[in-house]
Amino acid sequence: MKNKSFYRQGPDHREGEEVDFVHIRRRFDFRSIQLGRWVTAAERERAAGLFHDALCDLMLILQGPEMLISLRGTLALMYGTGGRPGVSAHYDPAQRAFALAKNAGPGSIAHEWFHALDHYLASKVFMDAPEGLFASSAWLEDATPVVHPLNDNFIQCLQAVLLTPDGQAPSDLFRHSAAMDRRLGVTYYSRPEELCARAFEAFVQDAPVKNSFLVKGTLTSPEARAGLYPQGDQRQRVNRAFCRYFHQLGHVLGKLST
């Protein structure tokens, strides 16, 4: 990442001030931020600015306050540490932390953040979701919803991602993802949490604020061409569903933060 530039189109969140990971932790109230021992001071300084702008852009896109980004102080961030071999970024449910590799994680923040949200919401949206399950998986397993307008809107997001408009069949996104899994001999792309995280990526990338450190690849990447991101009418339905949900969620959280 040291010599790589990232496209960004959005407001100036720093206003000439230097930011570091201490500032990020305090502003967003992350539970913790851990940096790898091989992250140099120069890399740490540059990464802090990129993370700060990406998280501020995400907050702007979601129309919510800082507490949304840290999931009310429950989420931890790791950079250059806590990774897995061959994986540029991942979310660890056991630690409630998302980790980005030092040189290969940029563009993955939106995807991993949604995993964190999906995991966080499981016990909020469903009254009988098993420990450690994602909300998207719990819904697919017919967990019992907690009656609340916010939960209704979140479930509508899941339906837009996973089902056809009439709710009677798997969506195009699911079918393309399942076909890819069959070709590769794995069960990965068609898992509900992965389908929803990629759909969220598309929603974020389609927003007026652009940040390739936050998200990239939902339009012209090989994965996009293979139908592994929502396309056409489904993409529009998914975007509308996410927009409704986050607008309402941001309104509720905004009242709590004042």
What is the strand order of the sheet 32-35 is part of?
32-35, 76-79, 97-100, 89-92
Name the residue range of residue 95's domain: 17-106
In this predicted structure, what is the pLDDT of residue 102? 76
72 and 129 together in one domain: no
167 and 94 together in one domain: no
Q: For residues 71 and 57, what is the distance between their CA atoms, to the nearest angstrom?
A: 16
The model scores a pTM over 0.85: yes
248 and 134 together in one domain: yes
In this predicted structure, what is the pLDDT of residue 106? 79
In this predicted structure, what is the pLDDT of residue 256? 79
Q: Is residue 9 part of a domain?
A: no
Identity of the residue numbered 236: Q
65 and 174 together in one domain: no
Q: Is residue 224 part of a domain?
A: yes
Q: Decide: 205 and 215 in contact? Cβ < 8 Å.
A: yes
In this predicted structure, what is the pLDDT of residue 208? 97
Q: Is residue 3 part of a domain?
A: no
Count the domains in the chain.
2
Q: Is residue 6 part of a domain?
A: no
Closest CA to 194 of 161, 234, 243, 226: 161
137 and 46 together in one domain: no
Q: What are the per-10-residue average pLDDT scores of the chain (258 residues)?
A: 75 89 96 92 92 97 96 94 65 92 80 97 94 94 95 98 97 98 97 98 98 95 97 98 97 81
135 and 234 together in one domain: yes
In this predicted structure, what is the pLDDT of residue 84? 55
In whole angstroms, how large is the CA radius of gyration of the chain? 18
Domain's final residue, options 106, 135, 164: 106
CA 207 to mean position of chain CA atoms: 14
44 and 145 together in one domain: no
What lies within 8 Å, CB to CB, of 74 at 6+ separation is 31, 96, 120
90 and 142 together in one domain: no
Domain's final residue, options 39, 72, 106: 106
Q: For residues 35 and 158, what is the distance between their CA atoms, to the nearest angstrom?
A: 34
24 and 53 together in one domain: yes
Domain's final residue, options 106, 131, 162: 106
Give the number of other Cβ atoms within 10 Å of residue 62's Cβ.
24
Q: For residues 199 and 212, what is the distance between their CA atoms, to the nearest angstrom?
A: 16
In this predicted structure, what is the pLDDT of residue 64? 95
91 and 123 together in one domain: no
25 and 78 together in one domain: yes
Identity of the residue numbered 158: L
Coil, helix or strand for 89? strand
Q: For residues 11 and 38, what is the distance between their CA atoms, to the nearest angstrom?
A: 32
Q: Is residue 88 part of a domain?
A: yes
Q: Is residue 171 part of a domain?
A: yes
Q: Is residue 8 part of a domain?
A: no
32 and 102 together in one domain: yes
Q: Is residue 219 part of a domain?
A: yes
In this predicted structure, what is the pLDDT of residue 14? 87
In this predicted structure, what is the pLDDT of residue 48? 93
If phi > 0 it is left, if psi is from -120 to 50 it is alpha, else beta; for residue 73 that is: left
